[in-house]
């Protein structure tokens, strides 16, 4: 997978992509692709959480958050190409966001234990002037059957406070995950194949 070159800003100048995300995992993934980028500052957009979502389907929920972040950043930086993303973990219609404490994290891992769940990441690319393209990547993840002791060991080893679903597949994922079906990087937080295709499209 060849990474796209720096995205041109017109008039013979080039500006790096702006990433509208504070996630260190997404920064690391883009760096691994070799894509020049800068991180946008805070944007004036209030994300929905799984606790205050009453009407949207899981896919609508994750798309709403990614699109909202991308458009809000675009209003602050109208001359730049932007990338925004949002990731959720769902078991049927139930959404698992970032845990508020260890007890909630432990309960989330217990609920996912021994079952397939789906990780969905919505990725949005915004052109200067507000043109938007994007999509949703889905990966199925099968958890091992976990005992309370195994869950406690995992939470002792991994800080999950900022991780949807209360786990990070890149951090001792082999302790809790039996197999995945689909994009591994999507479970980390950014589907690289889809991102590369979106960014290549911005250069046309």
Active site residues: 86
Q: What is the length of the chain?
A: 204
Give Cα separations from 79 to 7, 10, 30, 126, 190 (angstroms): 12, 10, 21, 10, 24
CA distance 124 to 148: 38
The alpha carbon torsion through 99, 102, 105, 110 (nearest 10 deg) reads -160
CA distance 77 to 82: 9
């Amino acid at each position: 997978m060849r990474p796209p070159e720096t995205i041109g800003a017109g008039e013979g100048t080039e500006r790096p992509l702006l990433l509208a995300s504070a996630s260190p995992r997404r920064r690391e993934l883009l760096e691994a692709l070799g894509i020049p980028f800068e991180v946008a500052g805070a944007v004036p957009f209030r994300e929905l959480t799984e606790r205050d979502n009453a009407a949207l389907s899981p896919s609508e929920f994750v798309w709403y958050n990614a699109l909202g972040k991308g458009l809000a950043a675009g209003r602050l930086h109208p001359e730049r190409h932007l990338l925004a993303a949002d990731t959720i973990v769902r078991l049927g219609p139930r959404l698992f966001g970032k845990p508020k404490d260890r007890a909630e994290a432990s309960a989330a891992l217990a609920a996912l234990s021994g079952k397939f769940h789906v990780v969905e990441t919505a990725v949005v690319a915004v052109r200067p002037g507000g043109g938007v393209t994007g999509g949703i990547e889905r990966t199925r993840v099968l958890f091992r059957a976990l005992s309370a002791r195994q869950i406690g060991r995992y939470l002792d080893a991994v800080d999950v406070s900022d991780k949807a679903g209360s786990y990070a597949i890149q951090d001792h994922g082999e302790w809790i995950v039996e197999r995945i079906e689909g994009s591994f990087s999507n479970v980390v937080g950014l589907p690289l194949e889809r991102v590369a295709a979106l960014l290549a499209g911005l250069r046309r």
